Amino acid sequence: MNDTNYDEALVPDVELPPLLRLADGSPVADADTWREQRRPQLLALFAQQVYGQTPVQNLPLHLETLEETALPGGALRRQLRLLIDGAHSVHLLLWIPRQRPAPLFLGLNFNGNHTTHPDPGILAPSGDRAARGSSAGRWPVEDILARGYGLATLCCDDLYPDRVDGRADSVQRLFEAPGDEGGAWGAVATWAWGLSRALDALLQTGDCGPVALIGHSRLGKTALWAAARDERFALVVSNNSGCAGAALSRRRFGETLAAINTRFPHWFCRNFRAWNEREDELPLDQHMLLALAAPRPLYVASASEDLWADPRGEFLATLAASPVWQLLGHEGLPVREQPAPDTAVAGRVGYHLRRGGHDITVWDWERYLDFADAQLR
Ligand code: GTR
């Protein structure tokens, strides 16, 4: 984008909409008011203005184990088919460590389960798109298993093909058409719905403990929205989620609402486009999305060269969300200044700025596993 701002000196003075005030302006001073009033207000706002309304219709879900393989050392690899309403199939790849039940990370992948690991036993979609093992660097399966965690992944395209005209081939075709087109759910909300269905499936298998959500980039935005909506997720990690994820929209640093809504009109609801270049009038900002994870553990990570995602805006949103954890009796983010690169900080809210570019690396994963050790064990 030609007019992208990467100059901190040109960032406007940002006044965030208050997190701990109800829509009528009255203060949110206790946990009950947060839970019973403010949290539902914010969820409704993000559904109306950003991600769209997820239908309440419950579709029947049928699970089938396609195969299971015992791995050397006692871990298991299992592949499941989730058949939704008898008409739409999604494949779930599950790795379970030797000691079970075990806590587990669940995350969407971009290009198919077979890209996340070179194992030739992993089923690949027909008319295959990407090479086997091509994103294995983002999924350190053996390290995760060795630390005593499981891992489950599914491809976002199985739920909603990530293209402007993907809707017709998405799982949305199984739902009644929404009455309000402007507020109709987009791809991010559909992917988030799919994460909840994957969780339904995992909860039916006896060997999964608490389920932590993780997502990179557009799938980090999705993990945050899924965790906001579904409180069964025990922990959430946002890796380089940027605009409409963890970054504050009002800063207009790197990717802006106009940029994202123009390039990816299918990700959000149509109402979101009304806020292009009107960020200051938005009745919300992304610190409020992060706060919807509370009181569960939240970890936000940025990368120093990932300026498009506005690392500083991600940190400031995390800091601004933190008072909700304090209100609910937990330590939020333990610092007030953005930590030096490659330094993890964590209370019940964690953050790091990895040196390097837009990616999820083994170093990032090690920090998430440390955080999960502290928060889930
Ligand atoms: C970019 C997009 C970002 C981010 C990223 C990704 O092109 O502008 O918001 O989601 O893609 O998902 O890799």
Q: What is the DSSP string of 126-176?
A: SS--S-TTTTGGG--HHHHHHTT-EEEEEEHHHHS-SSTTGGGGSGGGGSP
Q: How far is the CA of 134 from the centre of ligand 1 (A)?
A: 18
Lowest model confidence (mean pLDDT) among 42-51, 84-93, 201-210, 294-303: 201-210
Q: Is the CB of 310 under 6 A from ligand 1?
A: no
Q: Is the CB of 303 under 6 A from ligand 1?
A: no
Select from 308, 310, 314 the residue to mutate for testing ligand 1; criterion: most ligand atoms less than 8 Å from CB: 308
Residue range 326-346: mean pLDDT, rounded: 98
What confidence category does residue 1 fall into, taking pLDDT thresholds of 50, 70 and 90? Answer: low
Q: Is 216 a catalytic residue?
A: no
- What's the token pair of residue 256? 């802006």
Select from 217, 224, 253 the residue to mutate for testing ligand 1; criterion: most ligand atoms less than 8 Å from CB: 217
Q: Is the CB of 217 under 6 A from ligand 1?
A: yes
Query: CA distances (Å), 260 to each of 257, 265, 306, in order?
Result: 5, 7, 16
Q: How far is the CA of 165 from the centre of ligand 1 (A)?
A: 18
Q: Is the CB of 255 under 6 A from ligand 1?
A: yes
pLDDT value of residue 179: 84
Q: Is the CB of 215 under 6 A from ligand 1?
A: no
List CB contacts of 113: < 8 A, sequence separation 6 or more. Answer: 79, 91, 92, 93, 122, 123, 124, 153, 154, 155
Select from 1, 51, 214, 218 the residue to mutate for testing ligand 1; criterion: most ligand atoms less than 8 Å from CB: 218
Atom 13, ligand 1: residue with shortest CA distance: 217
User: For residue 219, which atom of ligand 1 is closest to its CA?
Assistant: 12
Lowest model confidence (mean pLDDT) among 128-132, 141-145, 291-295, 323-327: 128-132
| Contact between 336 and 322 (Cβ < 8 Å) | no
This prediction's pTM: 0.98
Query: CA distances (Å), 275 to each of 3, 151, 178, 224, in order?
Result: 17, 37, 22, 20
Residue range 188-215: mean pLDDT, rounded: 96
* The residue type at 323: P
Q: Is 217 a catalytic residue?
A: yes
Out of 135, 170, 217, 238, the active site residue is: 217
pLDDT, one tens digit per residue, over 90-135 is 999 999 999 999 999 999 999 999 999 999 999 998 776 799 999 9
| Contact between 284 and 42 (Cβ < 8 Å) | yes
pLDDT, one tens digit per residue, over 2-35 is 689 999 999 999 999 999 999 999 999 999 999 9
pLDDT value of residue 17: 98
CA dihedral 280, 41, 268, 238 (to 10 degrees): 90
Residue 96: CA atoms inside 13 Å, Cβ hemisphere, count?
20
**Does 1 or 266 have the greater pLDDT score?**
266
